[in-house]
Amino acid sequence: MFSISQKKCYGLQRVCRVWRIARSTIYARRQRRQPGAPELKKRGPRQIVDDVKLLEYIRHVLASSPFHGEGHRKVRAALRFGMYGISAFAVSEDRVLRVMRENSLLSAARSPWKPEKKHEGKITTDVPNKMWGTDMTSTVLTTGRQGYVFAVVDHCAQDCIGVHVSKSANRFEAAEPVRIAVETAFGKCEKDVAKGIALRHDCGSAYLSSHFQDEVEFLGLRTSPAFVREPECNGVVERFFLTLKEQLLWLRQFQSIEELRKAVVEFVKKYNSCWMVAKHDYRSPNQVREKFILKKAA
């Protein structure tokens, strides 16, 4: 073989050894380039029926079937066990699928029904008191009992405006931090005092109960349930709970509900005054809320 760059001839054995290919490959390629060489065919067993004949059989199977929307698997079964008697090795499932797809003969896909999603992609708000998020998390006391922490967090300032600690997680305990949040934001807790604010919550039994829904409606809040199996919809309060766990619940042990309550209340005060929110140029939640209050007053 002649090298154009080196302008030298090299033996075929040496070239094949350097290129790591078999000499038979070189001989086969030379033979295929010669005039009158036989056409290169696909390796493997020869097909009993070609694609044109197979398409004709497939159309006949679909036309003679008493049902509508037969898929490629049943069509292949009809070809194997029906009047044609085509061997399973001759017509594979992938081949039947390919031929039916190329000729638009596949059955319609059955997609599961999903409810319409009305939430927007953005869960945060541009001003405070437009949407609140509420949820519950738990921790284990040294006595082995569970302690439950309920919270309400604003979706703009991201401050915790309502927190409640209890030894149970029923519907009455779930409504308590909402009342605390309304009193914190408006100074009172009466009918329609928080009208216009959306309350984001998950689909837990406590939040879907008639007691919780009636309490929210009485205060004027508008419920905004998160999508099922999508906690990202309630991501603001979920992020607060992650901070609470990393900074308190996973670091300390508590002997009683009262001890847990005092620690959580103290942490919320420190969080609202000192935690830096990256979204608001690393201001604390209290600074963010104060900024909007001053801007509104001006």
* The model's pTM: 0.62
| Contact predicate 89/45, CB 8 Å | yes
Q: What is the DSSP string of 260-280?
A: HHHHHHHHHHHHHHHPPBGGG
Q: What 3-state class would DSSP assign to 218?
A: helix
Q: What are the start and end residues of each CATH 3.30.420.10 domain in the chain?
A: 131-297
Q: What 3-state class would DSSP assign to 146?
A: strand
Q: What 3-state class would DSSP assign to 165?
A: strand
pLDDT, one tens digit for every residue, the chain (298 residues): 677 777 888 888 888 888 888 988 888 888 877 777 666 666 666 677 788 888 988 998 888 888 887 888 888 888 887 666 666 556 888 988 999 999 999 887 766 666 666 666 788 999 999 999 999 999 999 999 999 999 999 999 999 999 999 999 999 999 999 999 999 999 999 999 999 999 999 999 999 999 999 999 999 999 999 988 787 889 999 999 999 999 999 999 999 999 999 999 999 999 999 999 988 999 999 999 998 887 776 5
Residues 226 and 39: their CA atoms lie apart, in Å, by 63
Neighbours of 90 (CB within 10 A): 15
Comparing CA positions, the residue from 283, 235, 229 lying closest to residue 125 is 235
Token pair 């401050």: residue? 159
pLDDT at 24 (0 to 100): 87
> What does the pLDDT look like over 183-213, one tens digit per residue?
999 999 999 999 999 999 999 999 999 999 9
Phi, psi of 160 (to 5 degrees): -85, 110
**Domain 131-297 grouped into CATH 3.30.420.10:** yes
**CA quadruple 83, 85, 86, 87: dihedral, nearest 10:** 160
Neighbours of 225 (CB within 10 A): 16
Comparing CA positions, the residue from 262, 43, 275 lying closest to residue 153 is 275
Alpha carbon of 39 to those of 2, 32, 33, 90, 146: distances in Å?
28, 8, 10, 22, 77
Residues 193 and 37: their CA atoms lie apart, in Å, by 91
Task: Write down how long the chain is.
Answer: 298
pLDDT at 235 (0 to 100): 92
pLDDT at 251 (0 to 100): 93
| Contact predicate 177/164, CB 8 Å | yes
Residues 139 and 141: their CA atoms lie apart, in Å, by 7
Residues 179 and 163: their CA atoms lie apart, in Å, by 10
